């Protein structure tokens, strides 16, 4: 069975209570359960991890090199700062789809740059929790 790694970056464990005006009321548990349903339908398996730690995310991607066919990642705040995560994706050459709940280009200036987008196959953003399902479908389409 095809295996896909799903990574949720920092503070995404707080979805549902965190800035609901920006991120909505859907929890991470609900997002994961939608992803698992979709994965089951398409006969792929998912390894889902949420981490607040940059190094841990780098390790996961590095170790995932020969294990996963694709990576679905919301790097959250690390989107805008992490050369390390970007380099890990580039080094692993895992097919990567970047997702964001919000449209980062309609927000504060410091969010209007993604260090991850240049090493991702594509980016889906601005559709709230649906960004994840759309991202997974895009990834599946490419596999």
Which residues are catalytically annotated?
23, 100
Q: 51 with 36: CB under 8 angstroms?
A: no
Which of 99, 86, 111 is CA-nearest to residue 4?
99
Phi–psi pair at 55, nearest 5 degrees: -60, -35
Q: Stretches 45-53, 87-95, 97-105, 132-140: which one binds ligand DQA (CB under 6 A)?
A: 97-105
Selected range binding ligand DQA among 26-34, 57-65, 70-78, 86-94, rule: CB under 6 A: 70-78
**Binding residue (CB under 6 A) for ligand DQA from 26, 27, 81, 102:** 102
- For residue 129 the two structure tokens come to 């929790």
Q: Name which position in 5, 101, 119, 136 contacts ligand DQA (CB under 6 A).
A: 101
Least distance (Å) between residue 40 CB and ligand DQA: 24
Helices (H), strands (E): how many in the chain? 5, 5
With contact defined as beta carbons under 8 Å apart, do 112 and 121 qualify?
no
Pick from 51, 79, 92, 123 the residue near ligand DQA by CB under 6 A.
79
Rounded to 5 degrees, what angle do the CA atoms 55, 33, 59 make? 15
- Residue 53's φ and ψ, nearest 5 degrees, are -120, 120
The binding track of 12-51 with respect to ligand DQA, each residue x by CB under 6 A or -, is ----------------------------------------
Footprint of ligand DQA on this chain (CB under 6 A)? 11, 74, 76-77, 79, 100-102, 104, 111
């Amino acid at each position: 069975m095809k295996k896909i790694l799903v990574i949720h970056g920092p503070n995404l464990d707080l979805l549902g209570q965190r800035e609901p005006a920006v991120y909505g009321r859907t929890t991470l548990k609900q997002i994961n359960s939608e992803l698992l349903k979709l994965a089951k339908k398409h006969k792929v398996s998912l390894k889902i991890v949420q981490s607040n730690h940059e190094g841990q995310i780098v390790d996961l991607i590095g170790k995932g090199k020969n294990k996963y066919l694709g990576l679905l990642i919301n790097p959250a705040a690390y989107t805008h700062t992490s050369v390390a995560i970007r380099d890990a994706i580039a080094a692993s050459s895992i097919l990567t789809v970047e997702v964001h709940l919000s449209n980062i280009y309609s927000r504060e200036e410091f969010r209007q740059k993604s260090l991850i987008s240049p090493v991702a196959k594509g980016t889906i953003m601005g559709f709230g929790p649906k960004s994840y399902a759309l991202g997974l479908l895009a990834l599946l389409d490419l596999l």
